[in-house]
């Protein structure tokens, strides 16, 4: 037990030494920390983002100003006033800090207009909630219908505000919204009508659990968790340290017992226990071996799957995985790297994954490795995206990348789920995650 108390103290120190900007543990001296602001947590990552979108001149900037009760974003009667996104950090009480983003209008013509639209689409993919503003006098514009379709693909929360209602509301607009099963709020920024109700709706609609946990929600008080420390010969220790510490800390907070051992100590560790542990966490590389050694009734998963779940959406990846067996000779598959600075990941992307897939399918595919911030526009007819876990990226950065794939309607799976599948350890590795397991059953995978 003393070990855990010591560990908890260490955790507090680690938290202070931890450079969140790079998501690495930086072993800086305390004096260095005092002299630099590198250890400041970028607030944007922890604030839910609410984006205000819509056509030009509908009153987006007026709404932002009404929500914060300040003249912050420029309002004018000429369409196209907001050209670049306007961000405002704000305490939306009683919820807390949020980031409000006012955007350029979406229906502009020409090259510049297109640029602004794609900028707005990128903003959508970074949003936790979107407020679409419509003009009460008009019918739905094709660009607005396209906007709703994109929001739908992203699975992001959306509130529709019909503004300028003092002019009367177009009945055809109302029936078009009804047809699309879109509920709306009627407001007037000019007359200050409906703003408070809209604000309350925004607060209620923001997703809870903005900062997800790695382990806490799948273990209970008194559970025993065995964490098999992965072989760190090739992977720099500092990269894994952060996640290992988070796991240990969450188990500690949950009043679970966590036992750390090396792979070659697992057998001895298990035989020293009176009962089997509730959960074993290991590494993708040794998952097959361990799953053969440990009885089926013991839940087993990998650290990378816990991280994937924390940073993204296992259900989305399962749907992408389903497409793997449908790939044909010559099909284009993107291997998408977010953390290109580690040579080991380079090797996984360019060698390990392609050869595992080609061996499994017995087909020759056209693999394209992409490590840019956004997928290049020339990428057409892509059958599958294989996404890295993004271990050195924040949850939001991974989410933006996945949203891009969603907007392009391309199925996406990530490294850890794909490797577990190819190694024949599915669905066992998702056994601790109820929702993912249900999705697996719903998709009715053929057994590997």
Ligand X SMILES: Nc1nc2c(ncn2[C@@H]2O[C@H](COP(=O)(O)OP(=O)(O)OP(=O)(O)O)[C@@H](O)[C@H]2O)c(=O)[nH]1
Q: Which residues bind Mg ion (CB under 5 A)?
A: 60-61, 81-82
Nearer to ligand X, 76 or 326 (CB): 76
Tell the smallest beta-carbon distance from residue 146 to ligand X (Å): 17
From ligand X, Mg ion, none, interface partner of 406 (C-beta below 5 to 8 A by class) = none
Tell the smallest beta-carbon distance from residue 132 to ligand X (Å): 11
Nearer to ligand X, 106 or 349 (CB): 106
The only residue of 49, 51, 56, 126 in contact with ligand X, by rule CB under 6 A: 56
Cα separation, 438 vs 242, whole angstroms: 30
- The answer to whether residue 51 forms part of the interface with ligand X (CB under 6 A) is no
Tell the smallest beta-carbon distance from residue 71 to Mg ion (Å): 12
Cα separation, 41 vs 27, whole angstroms: 16
Q: How many residues bind ligand X, per CB under 6 A?
A: 21
- The answer to whether residue 190 forms part of the interface with ligand X (CB under 6 A) is yes
Tell the smallest beta-carbon distance from residue 151 to ligand X (Å): 17
The only residue of 28, 80, 138, 199 in contact with ligand X, by rule CB under 6 A: 80
Nearer to Mg ion, 49 or 57 (CB): 57
The only residue of 25, 53, 58, 303 in contact with ligand X, by rule CB under 6 A: 58
Ramachandran bin of 330, using left for φ above 0, alpha for ψ from -120 to 50, beta for the remaining angles: left
Residue 358 CB coordination number (10 Å): 15
Nearer to Mg ion, 102 or 331 (CB): 102
- The answer to whether residue 189 forms part of the interface with ligand X (CB under 6 A) is yes
The only residue of 76, 328, 355, 366 in contact with ligand X, by rule CB under 6 A: 76
Nearer to ligand X, 77 or 179 (CB): 77
CB 300 within 8 A of CB 428: yes
- The answer to whether residue 82 forms part of the interface with ligand X (CB under 6 A) is yes
b/e code 210-234 from CB counts within 10 Å (16+ = b): eeebbbbebbeeebbbbbbbbeeee
- The answer to whether residue 194 forms part of the interface with ligand X (CB under 6 A) is no
- The answer to whether residue 59 forms part of the interface with ligand X (CB under 6 A) is yes
The only residue of 23, 49, 51, 61 in contact with ligand X, by rule CB under 6 A: 61
Nearer to Mg ion, 51 or 414 (CB): 51
From Mg ion, ligand X, none, interface partner of 113 (C-beta below 5 to 8 A by class) = none
From Mg ion, ligand X, none, interface partner of 59 (C-beta below 5 to 8 A by class) = ligand X
Tell the smallest beta-carbon distance from residue 156 to ligand X (Å): 20
- The answer to whether residue 120 forms part of the interface with ligand X (CB under 6 A) is no
From Mg ion, ligand X, none, interface partner of 127 (C-beta below 5 to 8 A by class) = none
Tell the smallest beta-carbon distance from residue 197 to Mg ion (Å): 22
The only residue of 51, 120, 188, 243 in contact with ligand X, by rule CB under 6 A: 188
3-state per-residue secondary structure call for the chain = CHHHHHHHHHHHHHHHHEECCCCEECCCCHHHHHHCCCCCCCHHHHCCEEEEEECCCCCHHHHHHHHHCCCCCCCCCCCCCCCCCEEEEEEECCCEEEEEEECCCCCCCHHHHHHHHHHHHHHHHCCCEEEEEEECCCCCCHHHHHHHHHHHHHCCEEEEEEECHHHCCCHHHHHHHHHCCCCEEECECCCCECHHHHHHHHHHHCCCCCCCCCCHHHCCCCCEEEEEECCCCCCCHHHHHHHHHHHHHHHHHCCCEEEEEEHHHHHHHHHHCCCCCCEEEECHHHHHHHHHHCCCCCEEEEHHHHHHHHHCCHHHHHHHHCCHHHCCCCCEEEEECCCCCCHHHHHHHHHHHHHHHHHHHCCCCEEEEECCCCCCCCCCCEEEEEECCCCCCCHHHHHHHHHHHHHCCCCEEEHHHHHHHHCCCCCHHHCCCHHHHHHHHHHCCCCC
The C-alpha R_g of the chain, in whole angstroms, comes to 25
Nearer to Mg ion, 63 or 258 (CB): 63
From ligand X, Mg ion, none, interface partner of 189 (C-beta below 5 to 8 A by class) = ligand X
- The answer to whether residue 105 forms part of the interface with ligand X (CB under 6 A) is yes
Nearer to ligand X, 73 or 416 (CB): 73
Nearer to ligand X, 4 or 167 (CB): 167
Tell the smallest beta-carbon distance from residue 152 to ligand X (Å): 22
Nearer to Mg ion, 81 or 169 (CB): 81
Nearer to ligand X, 190 or 288 (CB): 190
The only residue of 117, 128, 161, 164 in contact with ligand X, by rule CB under 6 A: 164
- The answer to whether residue 239 forms part of the interface with ligand X (CB under 6 A) is no
CB 291 within 8 A of CB 425: yes
What pairing do the DSSP bridges indicate for beta strands 18-19 and 24-25?
A: antiparallel
Paired tokens of 245: 């510490």
Residues lying near ligand X in the complex (CB under 6 A): 56-62, 75-77, 79-82, 105, 163-164, 166, 188-190
């Amino acid at each position: 037990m003393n070990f855990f108390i010591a560990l908890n103290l260490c955790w507090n120190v680690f938290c202070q030494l931890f450079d969140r900007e790079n998501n690495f543990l930086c072993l800086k001296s305390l004096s260095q920390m005092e002299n630099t602001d590198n250890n400041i947590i970028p607030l944007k990552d922890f604030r839910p983002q609410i984006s205000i979108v819509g056509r030009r001149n509908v009153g987006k900037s007026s709404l932002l100003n009404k929500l914060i009760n300040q003249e912050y974003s420029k309002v004018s009667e000429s369409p196209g006033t907001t050209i670049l996104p306007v961000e405002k950090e704000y305490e939306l009480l009683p919820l807390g800090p949020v980031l409000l983003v006012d955007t350029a209008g979406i229906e502009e013509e020409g090259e510049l207009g297109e640029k602004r639209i794609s900028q707005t689409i990128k903003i959508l993919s970074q949003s936790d909630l979107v407020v679409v503003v419509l003009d009460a006098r008009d019918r739905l514009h094709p660009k607005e219908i396209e906007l709703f379709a994109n929001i739908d693909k992203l699975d992001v929360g959306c509130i529709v505000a019909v503004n300028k209602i003092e002019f009367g509301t177009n009945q055809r607009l109302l029936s078009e919204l009804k047809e699309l099963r879109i509920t709306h709020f009627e407001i007037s920024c000019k007359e200050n009508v409906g703003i408070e109700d809209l604000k309350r709706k925004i607060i209620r609609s923001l997703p809870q659990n903005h900062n997800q946990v790695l382990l806490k929600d799948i273990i209970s008080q008194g559970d025993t968790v065995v964490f098999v420390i992965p072989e760190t010969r090739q992977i720099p220790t500092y990269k894994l340290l952060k996640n290992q510490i988070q796991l240990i800390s969450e188990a500690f907070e949950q009043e679970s017992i966590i036992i750390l051992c090396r792979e070659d100590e697992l057998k001895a560790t298990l035989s020293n226990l009176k009962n089997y542990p509730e959960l074993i966490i290991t590494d993708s590389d040794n998952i097959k071996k361990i799953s053969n050694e440990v009885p089926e009734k013991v839940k087993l998963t990998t650290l990378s799957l816990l991280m994937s779940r924390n940073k993204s959406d296992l259900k989305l990846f399962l749907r992408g995985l389903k497409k793997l067996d449908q790939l044909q000779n010559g099909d284009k598959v993107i291997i998408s790297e977010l953390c290109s600075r580690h040579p080991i990941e380079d090797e996984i992307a360019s060698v390990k994954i392609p050869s595992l897939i080609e061996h499994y399918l017995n087909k020759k595919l056209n693999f394209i490795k992409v490590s840019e911030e956004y997928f290049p526009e020339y990428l057409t007819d892509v059958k599958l995206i294989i996404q890295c876990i993004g271990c050195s990226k924040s949850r939001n950065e991974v989410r933006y990348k996945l949203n891009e794939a969603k907007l392009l309607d391309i199925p996406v799976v990530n490294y850890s789920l794909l490797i577990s599948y190819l190694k024949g350890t599915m669905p066992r590795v998702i056994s601790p995650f109820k929702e993912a397991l249900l999705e697996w059953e719903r998709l009715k995978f053929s057994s590997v």
